[in-house]
């Protein structure tokens, strides 16, 4: 699995996006695919762009462990993802 210079993956980025309400698909190991609705308001588009920017910044701040397509490898990483999204952790 290809990672960035800081050890982050497209999958981790997509999990962070999902936790904030933006769905994306990691493809070809290190590429993220966005597929917005065919009909989208400018407000929704700007919100998505803002969230993408925040997630790019936050990806370097959050301690993310290796995640599979089905779950993160530990409760700690799931709690970290939830905490970064501003939701209560368990």
The domains of the chain, with CATH numbers, are 10-84 (3.90.1150.10)
Two tokens, residue 44: 């929704």
In angstroms, the CA 4 to CA 20 distance is: 22
Distance between CA 54 and CA 17 in Å, rounded?
9
Q: Burial of 30 by CB count in 10 Å (0-12 exposed, 13-18 middle, 19+ buried)?
A: middle
pLDDT greater at residue 6 or residue 2: 6
Per-residue model confidence as pLDDT tens digits over 24-34? 999 976 889 99
Q: State residue 90's pLDDT score.
A: 42
User: Higher-confidence residue: 78 or 8?
Assistant: 8
- For residue 29, what pLDDT is reported? 65
What is the per-residue pLDDT across 42-79, written as a single tens digit (0 to 9) for each? 999 999 999 999 999 998 776 544 555 555 554 444 44
């Amino acid at each position: 699995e290809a990672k960035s210079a800081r050890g982050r993956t497209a999958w981790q980025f997509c999990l962070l996006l999902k936790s904030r309400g933006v769905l994306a698909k990691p493809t070809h190991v290190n590429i993220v695919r966005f597929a917005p609705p065919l009909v989208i308001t400018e407000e929704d588009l700007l919100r998505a762009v803002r969230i993408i920017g925040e997630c790019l910044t936050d990806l370097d701040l959050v301690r993310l462990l290796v995640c599979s397509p089905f779950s993160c490898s530990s409760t700690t990483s799931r709690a970290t993802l939830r905490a970064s999204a501003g939701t209560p952790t368990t």
